[in-house]
Each structure stands twice: as structure tokens, then as C-alpha cells.
Amino acid sequence: MNAPFPRKQQELRLLIAAPRGFCAGVDRAIEIVERAIDQYGPPVYVRHEIVHNRFVVENLRARGAVFVEELDEVPDGAHVIFSAHGVPKSVPTEATERGLEWLDATCPLVSKVHRQAERQIESGRHILFVGHAGHPEVIGTLGQVPEGAITLIETVEDVAGLTFPGDTPLAYLTQTTLSVDDTARIIEAIRERYPQTVAPKAEDICYATSNRQEAVKQIAPRCELVLVIGAPNSSNSQRLVEVALRANTTAKLIQRGSDIEPGWLEGVTTLGITAGASAPEELVREVIDRLREFREVSEEEIVTAREIITFKLPRQLTD
């Protein structure tokens, strides 16, 4: 027998972070898939999840996108799209050799890191790359330069374990979706250990990652619980959970409104909501509707930045 539905309690105050949800790179990647399907007709193949969000992926699959892990799953003569996270150079090379028509949905800010990596290698420097092992963006960046030209750094302890001579020409770059605070500590450790290390011309952590983390820093101390809408394999979403936890606030990563359990709301008077850069606004509204099933709610949007950035589409889709 099902447990009785909980009676509604006192009003639940919702603090909704802004910016939240889709960034310009994600908007661009999704539009590339949608336009490709419209222009070429289904199926259009996509190597890896176009962005890390199951809801988005399933919607695109319903329109005719076929998601694959590797190019050998793509039939000859098909159209294929590379995900927003970027790919090693070997992937477009293989696609071209097979005669596949391909589109690159790599976020332009990730592509910027790729170009920086190439320039640093051309300048004779070894790269210390701050990122999470196994993340698609990291795999893509490591694949831009010859093997052995980059050392992956995940923690301050990794910096302490480096054995390069003190005069080694070095440069550092970072994954775009890292914790701003954690990365700052790692970079400080690199600079202390190797003061000659060349920094990128501009911050590699993207504007959207920084803005969403700052928004959570503003709302989390005012909440008993923060819900982050995003996928478990979404780096930027996981970092938002960490930001809230560091404010001594309970935080949970959820993918859909149905993930919310009534018991989470016990003793909660103010609840924060944000969404990772791959989560659509539709899911934010779904979460709020789910909360209304348990409590009367009031909504207040806390705006910490305005985002107006857009990125151009590949010329194949605009000619």
C-alpha cells in the first residue's frame, strides 16, 4: 500500500539562481544537430552525447539523431557531428579519410584552449593541463598535441609530485568546466613550484561555468537545501553541487523533478535551485512544479550576471 501523500506545510521560499542552464556553447551544439537533421534529413549521427543531459539527448534522438561512441559505428556516406566537448585531432582526420560529411559542434571556448595548446607546443613548452581524467573535454584537448607533450594535473598534490627541472619551459591550461576556487589553488601551486610557467592570455574556465558558480555562492548561504539540475557526468553541474556544499548547505544533484523525495523538504524553509550549463529551462520549471506538489511556494530569481554571448554556426548550415 502506498504511503499517504504528505499534507502541505508552510510556504517554501525558492531562490532561483541566474544565470543558470544553457550556455551559448550548448545552445550552439543543439542547434547544429537540429539544423543538420532539418537540412540533411534523419538519421544524423552524433559522436558521444552532444551535451551531457539525458533529456536533451532523448529529444534529439526522437527527431532523428543517432548517438554513437566511435566513428566505426557510423555508416559510409552518413553525416556525423562531434560533440560540444571537443575531440582529438585524429577523429576528424578519420572521418575525412572515410569520406564522411562531418560538422564540429565543439564549443568555441574549448576550441580556444585547443589552439592555445598548439601554440604552446610550437613555442617549445610542455603543457600542464588542469582537468579531470577521462572527461571528454580533457581527452579532446590531450589529443590536440603529440603524445607526451601534456601532463594532466588534477590536484595540488599532483603539482607536488612533478619532477621537471626548475628551468623547464612550461605553460598551463585548464578544462573549461572546473571549480573556480579549486583551480585557483592548483594554479597557485604551479606558480610557486615553477614561477616561469606561462599562463593563458585569458582565463580558460568559461564565463558560463564561472557565472553559475558565483550565482550559487550568492544563494547557498541563504538556503537549507540547494537542488542542482544536471547530469551525473556533467562536470559543471557537479562543481555547482560542490560550491553549495562548501557554503555548509545541503546540496543534491537531480536530473528530473521526479527525483525529488518529499523527505528532503523536512525542515526546509528556503530552497535554492540552479541548473548546469547542459540543462534546459524546461527542467527548472518541472522541478518547481514538482515542489508545488508538496508545498506552497514563492519564487525569487537572484540575478548575479547577465549573459548575452552567442556563437556562430558552422558555415555548412548557414550558406
All structural domains of the chain: 9-22+207-303 (3.40.1010.20), 24-107 (3.40.50.11270), 109-193 (3.40.1010.20)
pLDDT recorded at residue 262: 95
Q: Which pTM value belongs to this model?
A: 0.93
pLDDT recorded at residue 54: 95
Handedness of CA 286, 288, 290, 293 (dihedral sign): negative
Residue 312: how many CB atoms within 10 A of its CB? Answer: 9
Q: Which residues pair with 103 in a beta bridge?
A: 81
CB-based contacts of 86: which residues, under 8 Å, 6+ apart? 106, 107, 110, 111, 114, 136, 137, 140, 141
pLDDT recorded at residue 241: 98
pLDDT recorded at residue 319: 72
- Is 137 noted as a catalytic residue in this protein? yes
Spans of the chain below 70 pLDDT: 1-9
Closest by CA position to 230, among listed 243, 219, 218, 248: 243
Q: Which residues pair with 275 in a beta bridge?
A: 229
pLDDT recorded at residue 8: 52
Per-residue buried b or exposed e for 237-269, using 16+ beta carbons within 10 Å of the residue's own CB: bbbbbebbeebebebebbbebeebeeebbeebe
Closest by CA position to 15, among listed 209, 274, 304, 306: 274
Set 11, 70, 137, 307: catalytic member: 137
Whole-angstrom distance, CA of residue 294 vs CA of residue 282:
20
Q: Are 251 and 228 in contact (CB under 8 A)?
A: yes
pLDDT recorded at residue 204: 93
Q: Are 271 and 12 in contact (CB under 8 A)?
A: yes
How many angstroms separate the Cα of 18 from the Cα of each of 176, 179, 213, 220, 277?
Answer: 19, 18, 10, 13, 12
Q: Which amino acid is at 316?
A: Q
CB-based contacts of 202: which residues, under 8 Å, 6+ apart? none
CB-based contacts of 217: which residues, under 8 Å, 6+ apart? 243, 247
